[in-house]
Amino acid sequence: MKIKYQGKETETGADTVATFLTTQGVKPTEAVVEYKGDILSGEAALAAPLEDGADLNVFRIVAGG
Amino acid sequence: MSANTYLTERERDVLESAKVGIAGAGGLGSNVAMLLVRAGMKKLVIADFDTVNESNLNRQFFFRHQLGEKKIDALAANLHLIEPELALELHDVRLTPDNADFVFSGCQIIVEAFDSAEAKKMLLHSLLPTGKPIVSAIGLAGWGRSNDIRTRRVGRNLILVGDQTRDVRDGFAPVGVRVTIAAAMQANSVVSILLGEEP
């Protein structure tokens, strides 16, 4: 299926958000994960099934302030 | 009387009666607090456990004679020099998942102003489920590339300021010229939300 990841159309065989993030090398605990307009937090939320055409954005949490 | 005479009566009323929480009184938080008070706000809840040290002076709203003082006390003193009639709630605590919601329970908006990535993660995971607007700053270290710092809405109640890239752990120094850009954008977002506009 194709999803919109970080604003770009991306082909993937992953079935859940968590699985897809693993393929991208993203650790959900180190980022804010936004899927279909909602922020996903916790294992249960990240196990959400990936849907064709859905929007997924990841914002890294870095240090500094 | 508010220090800001450029506002309409309605705008002054809104800002003076609103209560905003600021998690961290360092480079981001001290400058956000300063700007919100200058904008006309009076009610702030500020939480920080740290003391002022010399390395803070390059970006934080403190002065040399305040070295060694508790940041919340030094910041309160500085804010009162701008506006004597403030209603500040000061919390000398390390925020945790167990106390963050309680500390900011009376606030309409919470500003995430920590320096460590772990603390940022903790606060976002603890407070985003409340549904209150959280204005967080992530990715603001170093200098240059001012235009990489953006404000964006994420999810239903997160306003994210920063570039989400420049990490002090990668060697980018926290310096005032860029940290204060992010702080001003956070303060701007707070004022916009309170006055009913897009941040």
Give strand ranges (E) for B84-192: 87-91, 109-112, 134-137, 150-154, 158-162
Mark yes or no for CB contact B154/A34 under 8 Å: yes
Residue B1 belongs to a domain? no
Look over chain B and give the mean of its residue pLDDT values, rounded to a whole number.
Answer: 95
Residues of B in Cβ contact (< 8 Å) with A60 = 138-139, 164-165
Task: Tell me, yes or no, whether B199 lies in a domain.
Answer: no
Can you say how many angstroms the Cα of residue A45 is from the centroid of all Cα atoms in its chain? Answer: 11
ipTM above 0.95, yes or no: no
Domain total for chain B? Answer: 1
Q: pLDDT at residue B2 above 90?
A: no
pTM for the whole structure: 0.94
Which residues form the domain of B171? 9-194
Rounded to 5°, the CA angle B100-B102-B106 comes to 110
What does the pLDDT read at residue B3? 52
For the ranges A40-49, B2-11, B134-143, the one whose mean pLDDT is highest:
B134-143
Q: A61 touching B, CB under 8 A? A: yes
* Option in B26, B160, B172 nearest A65 (CB): B26
The pLDDT tens digits of the residues spanning A3-38 come to 999 999 999 999 999 999 999 999 988 899 999 999
- The CATH number of whichever domain residue B106 belongs to comes to 3.40.50.720
pLDDT for the residue A29 = 85
Of B120, B141, B156, the CB nearest to A61: B120
Domains and CATH numbers, chain A: 2-60 (3.10.20.30)
Question: Residue B188 and residue B104: Cα distance in Å, rounded?
Answer: 20
| pLDDT of B151 above 60 | yes
Distance from C-alpha of B117 to C-alpha of B139, rounded to nearest angstrom:
10
Residue B83 in domain: yes
Token pair of A7, please?
Answer: 């604003």
Q: What is the pLDDT of residue A28?
A: 87
Domain assignment of residue B123, yes or no: yes
Residue B122 lies in a domain: yes
Q: How far is the C-alpha of B72 from the C-alpha of B80, rounded, in Å? A: 12
Is it the case that residue B10 has pLDDT exceeding 90? yes
